[in-house]
A and B are shown apart, each in its own frame.
Chain A
Amino acid sequence: MRRIPRLFRLAVLGTAASVLLTGCLGSSDSGSGDQDANRNSDAKKVELVIGSNSVKGGKSSAGAEFTEDVLIPKFVEAQKAKGVDVTVKFQGDGSDDEVYKQKLALSLSNKAGPDLFSIDGIWVGEFAQAGYIKPLTDTVGDAAKVDGWDGWKQIPDSVQQLGSFDGKRYGVPGGTDGRVLYFNKKLFAQAGLPADWQPKSWDDITAAGQALKKLAGVTPIQINAGTAMGEATTMQGVLPLLVGTGAAINTDGKWLGNTPQLRQVLDFYKSIYAGGLGDPILQREAKGRDKSFAEFAANKIGILLESDYFWRSVVEPKEGVAKMADRDSAVGYALIPASKAGGGIKGQDFVSMSGGGATAINPNTKFPQQAWELLQFMNSAEMVKASLDGAAKITQRTDVNTEVLASDPMLTFVATKVLPLTQYRPGMAEYPKVSAALQQATADVVGGKTTDAAAKSYQTAVEAAAGSKDKVTSN
């Protein structure tokens, strides 16, 4: 009779103790500091998992297909020749980027997660600070081995930044991209606009929009706005416009607040969405971006600002999420003009924004040496070329770009015309919050607020994100 209550008391105590013990969040050991980098290096049976935010038949389908159908079998074969029995699993995902990021972070915080995973270049800092990724030289344990990889010589410095933080390499970049203005040549012909359209100012864009407005059932211009599209609003909307006013979002550690340039961008948004040149409702829809893709493919949108992802994964005739069988003849692309000639950042006439991702190794992998081998294999010239599969993509490797550039006009255009004048986002921890504030400002304007009111609210949000007024410029 007495044993049971004591047991019960023990159980209660145990629960309470575990609550208190685990109450010390974030133990100081945040990774593999004391792990042997050569653990399991001579294992004959190896299991690795590759994680990425792509899925067959869905988001970035081509990337998922390549990984599962080409990369993994080839790697397994190569290892077999060495007498090692490797199993590689692909862990796909098709979430919104932000959700994928938090899911991945949650796994990593529990010392779990895939052995290799792809992350957006602007997350590298946050993940490194959290100890979820370590400099490659630490994870692999042999600086000479890592730095001696011949692939580095093929990756331009600006692209290497996508996988670096504080001057250290945390991952191998997976190429980069560039943003352009896409336009529907069929609609342009109907509106009496040239097939080789190249606007030289924002006014030129507006003028083309006015001509397209005369076509029934056509939305002239789609420039992403609002909060629903998340980072797509920032990268395919605010930032390309902002660099077109000559301003950068962050200069010398100071964030751009309520300034004439920001108000100029918001005014431009207003002129489009209040002037009947864009569809304000689309910017408010939960799935607005996907819908804009579908509408463009259905010849219902005239001009759309997007990255080369749009060309190779969205309207791509065979695999795209919104296929256009006549893409090559019907879709034109032009450089994004500065607000006026010479008015862009560094006095440029044309501007763009670029991003990209990197593949990192999980510091808690059981097989760090084999993971590094796979990472090198993945980024070898042969595999990078295979991953293109004839699609346009600026790869991380100069040698591959040189070889495949000639055969693809879109790729050539981005690599030779866009990349030389592009800008990258600041890889700082506050960036996501600033980005959210920019999205909110466009949402306010599209929703009918005045530019001044939206810019004032933005200022408040940025000051909160930056932590103090001194870190924000305003005038």
Chain B
Amino acid sequence: MASVTEPVPGRPARVRGPAQDVAGLGIGRALGFVAPALLLIGAFLVFPAIWTIYIGITNYRLTGVEAVSPSIVGLSNYTKALNDALFHNALWLTLLFVLGSATIGQNILGFALAWTMRRARPAVRRTVEGLVLLAWILPSTVVAYLWIAFFDRDTGTLNSILGTQGTAWLIDYPMVCLVLFNTWRGTAFSMMLYSSALQAVPPSQLESARMVGASGWQTLRDIVFPHIRGHVLTNTLLISLWTANDFSPFLLTRGGPNHESETVPVYIYNVALQGGELGYSSAISFLLLIANLLVALLYLRLLRRRS
């Protein structure tokens, strides 16, 4: 679609094709403006990504002969991943972690909080939002140590509350602990997002729903949800991707006991740092990137279908 740009003083307005028209600048000048950003992205995102792909087809290690003269081993790291029971285990655990704590936990809890808070007194609302937000802005290390203390076998608050003295939660139920920890930590983001999304629901429609005696669920389904569907999709994608790449499980369990909570990022770390196998860990990192891209593409398709 051609557009007529604002006339620039001393220059006649021209009709330009889309290729040339970047906010009314020539493409060269426009590129000049974004070059610093592109360089940064190139240096810190594109280059490491290409580098990772390259390392992923070698048997590079940090020590031993492979550190000096790594050889290209083609796709053998990838075939190894296909047959690696620990990697499969990590994939399942990551899926569990993402679905449990982000897709279900943070999403539903965040929405529930936003929905109940929307008509609360501003003071109450601000207090609750502040408290929930605190969980989100605290450094994950701090939050992790709070939860480690909470779950502790001998001195943990949880055992005092439930009267289950002697239960080592982080060891007997590591994934449950991780899901709880991450749900608590990330709910704030969903709540804030849904709070602002709910502003977009016309009060008149809610009012008429109340008049005809619609149940709360019907109101949510037929009036609220259609208005915020885009927000739900966006939020779900964002928090799921964050959670899939989250390294904080390491802080709570280091992937243990015996790989029972070793999500993919933690597995990558353990392969690289405990085993020194940088080639293999790079290959798995690349697989994780591909998985993330697939999720993102799926989301884009869903969004497109909506519009």
Name A's B-contacting residues (CB within 8 A). 1-2, 4-5, 7-8, 11-12, 15, 18-19, 22-23, 25-26, 28, 30, 98-99, 101-102, 105-106, 109, 123, 125-127, 129-132, 226-228, 230, 281, 284-286, 429, 432-433, 436, 440, 443-444, 447
Contacts and interface: CB of A to CB of B under 8 A. Distances in A.
Given A1-B26, A285-B168, A98 B63 contact: no
A123 B50 contact: no
B258 interface: yes
A126 B68 CA distance: 11
Contact of B257 (A2, A106, A226): A226
Contact-residue bracket for chain B: 35 or more
B42 A15 contact: yes
By secondary structure, the B interface counts as: helix
A235 to B, nearest CB: 16
A25 B273 CA distance: 19
Given A25-B58, A102-B272, A105-B67, A285 B26 contact: no
Given A1-B28, A5-B31, A284-B258, A26 B64 contact: no
A131 B254 CA distance: 31
B275 A227 contact: no
A123 to B, nearest CB: 7
By secondary structure, the A interface counts as: helix
Contacts, number: 126
B173 interface: no
27 contacts: A5-B28, A8-B31, A11-B38, A15-B46, A26-B68, A26-B70, A98-B273, A99-B274, A102-B276, A105-B63, A105-B67, A109-B67, A126-B63, A129-B63, A129-B67, A130-B63, A130-B65, A131-B67, A131-B68, A227-B259, A281-B171, A284-B257, A285-B256, A286-B256, A433-B275, A436-B274, A447-B258
Contact of B153 (A7, A11, A227, A281): A281
B202 interface: no
A4 B32 CA distance: 6
A4 B276 contact: no
Given A106-B62, A285-B170, 10 more contacts: A8-B31, A11-B39, A26-B68, A98-B273, A129-B67, A130-B65, A281-B171, A284-B257, A285-B256, A432-B275
Contacts of A101: 63, 276
Interface of B: 26-29, 31-32, 35, 38-39, 42-43, 46-47, 50-51, 54-55, 58, 60, 62-65, 67-70, 153, 168, 170-172, 253-254, 256-259, 272-276
Nearest first, the 4 closest Cβ-Cβ pairs linking A and B are A284-B257, A130-B67, A4-B32, A126-B63
Contacts of B258: 226-227, 284, 440, 443-444, 447
A440 B256 CA distance: 12
B68 A30 contact: yes
A385 B153 CA distance: 43
A187 to B, nearest CB: 19
Given A2-B28, A25-B60, A102-B273, A8 B35 contact: yes
Nearest to B80: A464
Contacts of A130: 62-65, 67-68
A15 B36 CA distance: 13
The residue among A28, A123, A227, A436 with the most chain B CB atoms within 10 A of its own CB is A227
A306 B65 CA distance: 33
Contacts of A127: 63
A47 B26 CA distance: 55
Contacts of A2: 28
Contact of A129 (B50, B65, B168, B259): B65
Contacts of A286: 170, 253-254, 256
A7 B257 CA distance: 54
Contacts of A23: 54
A4 B63 contact: no
B63 to A, nearest CB: 4
Contact of A26 (B47, B69, B171, B259): B69
Contact of B276 (A5, A18, A432): A432
Contacts of B257: 226, 228, 284-285, 443, 447
Contacts of A129: 63-65, 67-68
A98 B274 contact: yes
B67 A11 contact: no
A407 to B, nearest CB: 39
Nearest to A27: B68
Nearest to A123: B63
